[in-house]
Chain A
């Protein structure tokens, strides 16, 4: 077992983990942050996307030990003081989700996109979420949702 100290959603969490513990399992099983989902085992679907030190990552392909000392943001850390994040608002307003399983990862991927490109066009949005699968929506309402958030962000 290895000691890790990871700041998750602004709170320092210390724990003993097996080196092989995947970050997604650490978040879900040890911290009970079950908003981060697992949808594949080949680093493709993106359901497990979180931010590690501000950059998006697929937490199924990161060992918890690799995140030792890092700051991790999950979907549970996106709303602040009871206020939804503009992306969360966008997904709600624009019907950007159906079953909701891919949604947390999709929102985190979109957060990474908007950080690099605050005003993406349609093509850039589609490329920005190319690492995330959604089986329900056909992606069109997700594009609208991200646009919604981008438009809001510009007003800030």
Chain B
């Protein structure tokens, strides 16, 4: 299992094999799926945040030509069970289509089935719903006092979970708490930094909205569901549970998926309803989400308030951290909602060797769209809170921010490192990443240049942030779905290779990276390898793609399955070549005896022999197809350092990101081109959070930023040229040494930018500003400030 991957294609910037179809418009996304007799669903959604449904009149909709059926929530409940969640915490009943009470603007109240999407929309619009409005619970702090009302009966003070302690002196179940170490840290502190910070609510905005096609075939009793999901196998399991069908009777397909960013992990009401309606009516049906719907109907991300206290000595050494976290999770628990903020607690150590940490988490219900995973999912929040607080500490001590961090790093000889929060960091060299970043931006010169520009009256700031990320999620103990991944590698009769992966990609390029790995493993051309994914009828088992796990967990499963089939193939080759299996090597499309290249067969000849084994070598079954489940022993912990320069317009408050230098360490890289793309994307989302993006609710619970007219999506013009650098610290957790990289870019960039803006505005006495850094907000700080 620990045999190294041969350095041939692995490590190269191989062009993606997915691209020829996508650049020609030949990919098949859910909305491109057509079936004879297909009908279209449209949802009528609540336009109030909190209310009791007094009356629903569907008669006008039902009377429309082309309308097949209309179901209210009450009617849907007759043929569809409530929605399950994936966490073990107490949770209120959640119906896919609301019955009696709506709890967020955008919650479905009825569903229409019609011949085409135009008629379906007309009919949904023709449904009249009257509500007795209830007070909208919008402010999370107020909500925790039970005001102005309760989102769910039975959840006093709107507390969904907690307060739940974690960290130094707390037992893993949170039931035994010993405050002595944390108290001592603060007693010994020479300086304490305290700040309330808000890591704001974001809208994931995959460019492809969600969509579902469900095709129940009454005679066979089977269901095929196409969905824009990150995890078709989880979808299948959940559908089976809710619909009362067997997993063998359901085929879930994730075709091309136009981005997910965490928001397509959750299994949504629309998926259950589409499938249930198909079964009830015995026809294929399709639902495609409008962008306007996506804003309110697809889970949001982040939205955590943190009260952080940092105890330190005047030499910059941090003695202890206290974090009181309040997560505004919206109206319902979705698949992983409750678990996401626990990852913020898990990563409260950041990259630092801190003697005592206490984090306490409370999750609160409000009348908003539910939250769930969004790229980074809990870790960007932790990074943000700690890196912001350390920057405040450095500023207060008048020390270089880089130096303060350096003094607190977990030293590289302490890995694996057990954190105060229960994580075991696998490997790391934080000082190396910091030094690489400082060198890349010429840190001392950068500070001089900033000071020179300031002398000219410009508001220029520099920001730095370290990060450490938890990737390669599982193991199974940490995920209700299981934390393994599955792969099957088949050497076909003609010597070509088919492989499956349960890590169902949506832009990550697994078809390329996994083929690179197999091509190297078997010494065959990459053109001879095909990777299959995203179809439960083809891919026997799987978990899915999230938590930066496809390479570190899915890739490892592929490597294991490949190793198994290779071992078997070597035995067939050994029989053919009259050699010992351990002397067989695979190179350049041939299978040969080590040290005797003349004794060789082509790869295809050995494959053919395995399927027509005459005579069958003793102890072997015919065929070459092996599968593997890889269960990681631990997570991986990639890390890095991001540094940026921001200038604020003194007159308007507009922040302009001028430079961004990123050093990322994701361990061994299979395809640096793809890794670079992943980091770019993460940076863009991290920068977007700092500067532009923000889900804003009105006091009556309406999403004010409900379209791209008000929710600022980053455009090409919002970014400078990203300056990219890497360090490589392999992980011992998987045979590839690869850590994962999908979310990393979102972690360091966000605090680096806020740190830079605070630096730029330091002359005005600014020590903290909450995101998004809207021009007016910065302008006001300058109006009220000292300078």
Contact = CB atoms under 8 A, between A and B. Distances in A.
**Touch between chains A and B, by CB atoms below 8 Å:** yes
A75 B24 contact: yes
A143 to B, nearest CB: 7
A101 interface: yes
A34 interface: yes
Do most interface residues of chain A lie in helix, strand or loop, or is the interface mixed? loop
Contacts of B611: none
B266 interface: no
Contacts of B118: 18, 20-21
A86 B507 CA distance: 22
Contacts of A99: 206-208, 256-259, 506-507
Contacts of B24: 35, 75-76, 78-79, 84, 88
Contact of B676 (A39, A95, A100, A135): A95
Given A36-B25, A44-B708, A142 B716 contact: yes
Contact of A34 (B20, B25, B259, B683): B25
Contacts of B25: 33-36, 74-76, 104
A126 to B, nearest CB: 4
Given A34-B32, A135-B713, 15 more contacts: A18-B118, A42-B292, A44-B708, A44-B713, A45-B713, A92-B20, A97-B19, A102-B207, A130-B715, A137-B680, A137-B681, A138-B680, A138-B683, A138-B722, A140-B680
6 contacts: A35-B24, A76-B25, A99-B256, A100-B258, A135-B205, A136-B259
Given A99-B259, A99-B507, A101-B258, A130 B717 contact: yes
Interface of A: 18, 20-21, 25, 28-29, 32-42, 44-45, 47, 74-76, 78-79, 84, 88, 91-93, 95, 97-104, 107, 122, 125-127, 129-130, 132-143
Contacts of B23: 75, 84, 88, 91-92, 97, 100, 103-104, 107
Interface residues of B, number: 59
B294 to A, nearest CB: 9
Interface string B170-205: 000000000000000000000000000000000001
Given A33-B25, A99-B259, A40 B15 contact: no
B16 A92 contact: yes
B691 to A, nearest CB: 13
A18 B29 CA distance: 25
Nearest to A129: B716
B684 to A, nearest CB: 3
Nearest to B32: A34
B207 A143 contact: no
A143 B716 contact: yes
A78 to B, nearest CB: 7
Contact of B684 (A20, A34, A100, A139): A139
A135 B719 contact: no
Interface in B19-60: 19-20, 22-29, 31-32, 34
B677 A126 contact: no
Nearest to A87: B23
A104 B508 CA distance: 18
Nearest to B209: A39
A93 B15 contact: yes
A98 B15 contact: no
Interface string B657-691: 00000000000000001101110111111000000
Contacts of B680: 137-141
Contacts of B261: 135
Contact of A133 (B27, B29, B207): B207
B492 interface: no
B222 interface: no
A34 B507 CA distance: 19
B671 to A, nearest CB: 9
Given A136-B677, A137-B677, A103 B22 contact: yes
A141 B15 CA distance: 13
Nearest to B258: A101
A44 B719 CA distance: 18
A42 B258 contact: no
Contacts of A92: 15-16, 19-20, 23
Interface in B77-117: 116-117
Contacts of A79: 24
B475 to A, nearest CB: 27
